[in-house]
Chain A
C-alpha cells in the first residue's frame, strides 16, 4: 500500500474530518460507522469466526438491558464503550443497530442507558485499559 505521494497525501489530508469531529457527528449511522463498523462491518454482517453479525442477531434484538450491558461492559473480544459514548450516543447507535439490516426491535432511549449504567456500575469507573 501507501506509497504516500505528496499529491495523494494532500488530497487525503484535505478530505479527512478530524477524528474528534467525527466522534461528535451525531447521526446514528455515523456513530455506528465510527465506533462499530471496523469489526461488525458497515453491513452489520460481522466477520465469520471473529465478530458476530448484528443483523438478525437475537441478543441485539432482545432485552434492551442485555444488549446495553454488552456495549457498556464489553465481552469476549469486544471492549467496553462505557467511557467512549454518552447515554444519548449509545441510545442512538443501539437504536440504529436494532432497526437496521432487517432487525426489528424497540428503540432505545438515553434514560434506559443511564439505568443500564447504574445496573452495571458495581465497579464504578472500572475497566481502564492499560497501555503497554
Chain B
C-alpha cells in the first residue's frame, strides 16, 4: 500500500478517508478507499519453479492442502515423497459431509450424516475469494469445476436483536439497509461538503467531484442532495407492466437513527473487505473435490490412518515414528520433513526440535469453530423470500450467520448452514450434544423464517476444536506472538519445515496452506541444491 499522496488542495488521502469513516461510516470509507485507488498486494499465484537439479527424499506429515501441495510439487520435480495422514481420507480440513460421512468428536458424540444423495455441507473451507490465485491455480490445473458462491446478497435478511429502537429484532433486507445507511450518510456529507465545512483544505474542484460522487454513491437527488430511497433501496410495490403496478410505489427508507440503534449496520461490512469479497467460488459438488483432485495425482504416495507419535532428527535426516490403523508401530525416514500438523496437535507429539522452536509453537492459539448444517425439505428461502444464496446475518450467540446454499437453485431440497460460530460462542455451543446444537440453530432460524423448523429433516454439526487431528479451526496469532514466535516457525528447525495456514497471513484459508507449502518447498529445494 503506498503512502498517502496529498489530494489537490492539501488534504492528505489518509485524512480524507479518516474523515469519511468518521462522518459516513465504514462502508462509505471503504467505497472512498476504492475510489481513491488504495490497492492490496496480491498473493503468490503460481508454485515455485523447482526445475531440474538435485533432489532428495521428503516425508510430508498431513494430507491437507499444505501437505498435498508439497507432495505434488516436490514429486513433480523428481523428489521421492511419502505422505503420512492420520485420517483414512485426504484433505485435512478440506472436508465435505455427505450421506454416510461419520464423525466422532472428542466428547464421544458420534454423528452420521443423513443428507440426501447430492446434498452436502462444507463444514471446513467453503468459499474461495477470487484473488486467492494459489487455490485457483490448482482448481484450474487439476480440473476442479467451480461455481460462484454468493457471498453478498441484497435480498438476504439482517436480523439483529441486541440493539434497540424500532428496527431491533426486525427482519431487514440487506440491500434496503445498505442503501438507506449509505444514502443518508452520503446526504449528510454532501450537505456539509456543499457548505464548505467538510474541510477548508479540500479544493473547490475536489469538493464538487466529491459531491458528485456522493450523489451517485448514495443515490441522492442531484437537486437537493436528499436521499429518498427508491432508486437505491427499491420499492414497496415493484414496477411492472401497464398502469397497475405501472411505476410501482417507492419504499420508505429506514431512519438513520433507527438503523444505528438497531446494530444491524454491523452486518454491512461483510462482503466489503479484502478477505470477503463479493465474488467468491466454491468447488462444484463440495470443497473436498480439491483434495480429491490432488489424490488423483499423488494418491499412491499417501499412507492413511498413520498417526504420528514422534519426530526425531539427526544431522543427516528425519525419522518419524507412527502408528497404523491396526496399532502397529512403524517408522519412516527421509532427508527432510514437511510437517503440516496443526500446532495444537503437534504440541502433543514427541518432537525433536529446539527449545525456542517449541516455545514458539505454544504461542499460537487455535480458534474454536462450529458449523451446523440443516437439510431442508423445501427451498423456502428461494420460493417465498427470493433469497438465492448469501448470508443471513444475525447477532444470535452461537449462530452468527445462517448461509443459504449457492448450488441447486430452484431445486427441491437444500442444506442450509444453520450456524457458523467462533471463539467462546463456539465453545459454548459445542458443550451441547449434537441434537441440542441443531435445536439451538433451528430456534434462531425460526425467528427469521416461519417455514424453518417444519422443513428441517436432519442435521449435521462439526466442531473443529473437538475434532481429533485438528483441535481447532485455525491458528490465531496475537500481535505479540505474530511478531516474536511466528517468524521462528517460518524457518526450518534442522531438517523440519512447518507448513500450513497457521504459517501464513491468510489464516484459516486454503490459500494460506498452499502458499505456505510453496515457500517451504522452495527453501528445501534451494538447500538441496547446495548440499
Contact = CB atoms under 8 A, between A and B. Distances in A.
Asked if A and B bind, the verdict is: yes
Interface of A: 1-4, 6, 8-9, 12-13, 16, 18-20, 22-23, 33-39, 41, 47, 49-51, 73-81, 83-85, 122-123, 126-127, 129-132
B424 A81 contact: yes
Interface in B62-115: 106-107, 110-112, 114
B463 A38 contact: yes
Contacts of A1: 110-112, 114, 434-435, 459-460
Contacts of A34: 428, 431
Looking at A34, A49, A50, which has the most chain B CB atoms within 10 Å of its CB?
Answer: A50
B128 to A, nearest CB: 11
Given A41-B107, A50-B106, A50-B468, A79 B366 contact: yes
Looking at A18, A23, A39, A77, which has the most chain B CB atoms within 10 Å of its CB?
Answer: A77
B507 A130 contact: yes
Contact of B365 (A13, A16, A80): A80
A78 B465 CA distance: 9
Contacts of A85: 424
A35 to B, nearest CB: 6
B440 A78 contact: no
Interface of B: 106-107, 110-112, 114, 125, 127, 275-276, 343-344, 347-348, 362-368, 396-398, 420, 422-425, 427-431, 434-436, 438-440, 442-443, 446, 453-454, 456-460, 463, 465-466, 468, 471-474, 476, 478-480, 507-509
Given A16-B439, A81-B424, A123-B479, A38 B430 contact: yes
A4 B443 contact: no
A77 B345 CA distance: 8
A103 B309 CA distance: 31
B476 A2 contact: no
A38 B431 contact: yes
A75 B508 CA distance: 17
Contacts of A79: 365-368, 423-424, 427, 476
The 5 A-B pairs at the shortest CB distance, nearest first, are namely A84-B424, A74-B365, A77-B344, A12-B439, A38-B431
B273 to A, nearest CB: 10
Contacts of A39: 106, 427, 465-466
Contact of B396 (A8, A19, A41, A84): A19
A22 B397 CA distance: 10
Given A50-B348, A129-B422, A9 B456 contact: yes
Contacts of B478: 73-74, 80, 123, 126-127
A12 B465 contact: no
Contacts of B396: 19-20
B464 to A, nearest CB: 10
A129 B424 CA distance: 10
Nearest to B344: A77
B104 to A, nearest CB: 11
A132 B509 contact: yes
Contacts of B127: 132
Given A38-B463, A39-B466, A50 B471 contact: yes
Given A13-B439, A132-B508, A123 B422 contact: no
Contacts of A122: 480
Given A34-B431, A74-B365, 17 more contacts: A4-B435, A19-B425, A20-B396, A35-B424, A35-B428, A38-B428, A38-B465, A47-B107, A77-B347, A79-B366, A79-B427, A123-B478, A123-B480, A129-B423, A130-B476, A132-B275, A132-B474
